[in-house]
């Protein structure tokens, strides 16, 4: 018997409609997005799933009890749209909710898990984001997510199952066992510095729960939104988007693009498709990053964050994040804290520039401007 590949072996990568389009999503936007993912090289960079979030649903189920697409915004129906997306060499995702209604008040899957899972499978769905609104009192997360996971599995189709319960019942402790491949650890991200900082650097406590087959999900990317769209709340600078993307790559977190990929500027498309950053995110070992300046009580936790992660090839990725509002800071990493022999010489590679900075032992220090990041890979030189 041939072995089926592990679903979600590395963090899922794709695009989701919510951050930019919210309730305005249409089938033509989804088609154009699939086209743009091919044309801009995002598909070839590894972004695979095109996911429609809430508001694709019609007001009523059909005579057979099946969910249907909104007749004005998705007139061709979901199966045709999934075919189109598959035709572009991409995979197709959709959204529902564990309660009776979605968070946008549309029809959802509580008590209809089997028929909905079968409908999704029949349409060619490869990814299901499953929200947590309007659940009956007393219905707990593990039960509701397990039910839908079982229903999806019973269809025989490989479907990535994305739990969106906002981290309220510590899903990192149970969602993997409940059959989820990723689970939100936080409330909704918005497009500004405070949101990416607070969500991103709040990931230390659950970091060790993520790994091949099941990932912590600190929500979708706002990179490139530039203050436009459904969750736009001020926007970020280029440096802040770099901090956001570098941290999501390092954690590692799912990479679901939220901007309008039909209209990206060069900065955005180059950042999102950066091969060195994506390689760190998709590292086959899937080990978690850890925060080297310890817990939230550390004296400088609010200003400077040092994160590191062991990679499959024996190198170590280190992110130097300066989250102070004004001061440039010299940040240092010592080999000792990375479980490296201090005498071990390492090549220090700047990941953004793809350039060797130096060869050194003991420690490495670098100046980091406010609201910005330096990301290096330490490659031990073995003698």
Q: Which stretch binds ligand GAL (CB under 6 A): 101-109, 200-208, 343-351, 355-363?
A: 101-109
Active site residue: 158, 188, 238, 300, which one? 188
The answer to whether residue 103 forms part of the interface with ligand GAL (CB under 6 A) is yes
Residues pairing with 374 in the sheet: 320
Cα torsion through 243, 232, 275, 273, rounded to 10:
-160
Binding mask 305-334 for ligand GAL (x = CB under 6 A): ------------------------------
CA atoms within 13 A on the CB side of 40: 24
C-alpha 72: how far from chain center: 30
Nearer to ligand GAL, 21 or 335 (CB): 21
Distance CA 124, CA 221 (A): 25
Cβ at position 54, least distance to ligand GAL in Å:
4
Which residues face 366 on adjacent strands? 331
Does the footprint of ligand GAL cover residue 182 (CB under 6 A)? no
Minimum distance from residue 184 beta carbon to ligand GAL (Å): 7
**What tokens were used for 255?**
């990479």
* Token reading at 224: 């490139």
- Report if residue 18 touches ligand GAL, rule: CB under 6 A: yes
Query: Judged by CB under 6 A, which of 40, 102, 186, 230 binds ligand GAL?
Result: 102
Answer yes or no whether residue 217 interacts with ligand GAL by CB under 6 A: no
Place of tokens 């039910």: 147
Which of 8, 14, 93, 104 binds ligand GAL (CB under 6 A)? It is 104
Find the catalytic residue in 131, 219, 260, 283. 131
User: What's the closest the beta carbon of residue 175 comes to ligand GAL, in angstroms?
Assistant: 15
Residue 239 found at the interface with ligand GAL (CB under 6 A): no
- Residues in the interface with ligand GAL (CB under 6 A) total 10
Binding-site string for ligand GAL from residue 122 to residue 151, where x marks contact by CB under 6 A and - marks none = ---------x-x------------------
Buried b (16+ CB within 10 A) or exposed e, 106-136: bbbbbebbbbbbbbbbebbbbbbbbbbbebe
Q: Which is nearer to ligand GAL, 17 or 269 (CB)?
A: 17
CB < 8 Å & 24+ apart, contacts of 199-202: 200/243, 200/244, 200/247, 200/248, 200/251, 201/247, 201/291, 201/305, 201/321, 201/323
Query: Active site includes 131?
Result: yes
Closest CA to 193 of 238, 230, 254: 238
| DSSP assignment letter at 196 | H
* Choice between 57 and 240, CB closer to ligand GAL: 57
53 in Cβ contact with 14 (< 8 Å): no
Closest distance to ligand GAL from the beta carbon of 323 (Å): 24
CB of 102 vs ligand GAL, minimal distance in Å = 6
Question: What are φ and ψ of residue 84, in 5° steps?
Answer: -60, -45
Q: Shortest approach of ligand GAL to residue 12 CB, angstroms?
A: 15
Find the distance separating the first CA and the last CA of the chain, reported in whole Å: 42
Asked if 53 is part of the footprint of ligand GAL (rule: CB under 6 A), the reply reads yes
User: Least distance from C-beta 165 to ligand GAL, angstroms?
Assistant: 9
Please choose, out of 29-37, 96-104, 292-300, 324-332, the segment that lies near ligand GAL by the rule CB under 6 A.
Answer: 96-104
Which residue numbers are catalytic? 131, 188
| Interacting residues with ligand GAL (CB under 6 A) | 18, 53-54, 102-104, 131, 133, 164, 188
């Amino acid at each position: 018997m041939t072995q089926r590949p592990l679903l979600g072996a590395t963090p899922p990568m794709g695009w989701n409609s919510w951050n930019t389009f919210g309730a305005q999503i249409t089938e033509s936007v989804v088609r154009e997005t699939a086209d743009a993912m091919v044309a801009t090289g995002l598909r070839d960079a590894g972004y695979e799933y095109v996911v429609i979030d809430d508001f694709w649903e019609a007001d009523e189920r059909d005579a057979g009890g099946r969910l249907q697409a909104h007749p004005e915004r998705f007139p061709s129906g979901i199966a045709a749209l999934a075919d189109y997306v598959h035709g572009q060499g991409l995979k197709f995702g959709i959204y529902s909710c564990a309660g009776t209604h979605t968070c946008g008040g549309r029809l959802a899957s509580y008590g209809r898990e089997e028929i909905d899972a079968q409908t999704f499978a029949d349409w060619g769905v490869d990814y299901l984001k499953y929200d947590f609104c309007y659940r009956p009192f007393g219905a707990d997360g593990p039960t509701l997510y397990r039910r839908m996971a079982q229903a999806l599995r019973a269809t025989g189709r490989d479907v990535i199952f994305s739990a969106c319960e906002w981290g309220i019942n510590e899903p990192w402790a149970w969602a993997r066992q409940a059959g989820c491949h990723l689970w939100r650890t936080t409330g909704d991200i918005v497009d500004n510095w405070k949101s990416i900082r607070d969500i991103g650097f709040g990931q230390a406590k659950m970091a060790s729960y993520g790994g091949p087959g099941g990932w912590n999900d600190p929500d979708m990317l706002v990179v490139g939104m530039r203050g436009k769209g459904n969750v736009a709340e001020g926007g970020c600078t280029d440096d802040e988007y770099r901090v956001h993307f570098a941290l999501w790559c390092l954690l590692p977190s799912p990479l679901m693009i939220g901007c309008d990929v039909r209209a990206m500027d060069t900065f955005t498309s180059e950042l999102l498709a950066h091969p060195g950053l994506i390689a760190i995110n998709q590292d086959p070992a899937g080990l978690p990053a850890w925060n080297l300046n310890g817990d939230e009580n550390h004296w400088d936790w609010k200003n400077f964050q040092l994160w590191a992660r062991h990679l499959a090839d024996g190198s170590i990725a280190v992110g130097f994040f300066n989250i102070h509002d004004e001061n440039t800071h010299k940040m240092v990493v010592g080999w000792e804290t990375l479980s490296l022999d201090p005498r071990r010489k390492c090549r220090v590679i700047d990941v953004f520039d793809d350039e060797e900075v130096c060869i050194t032992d003991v420690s490495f220090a670098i100046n980091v401007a406010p609201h910005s990041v330096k990301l290096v890979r330490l490659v031990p030189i073995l003698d």
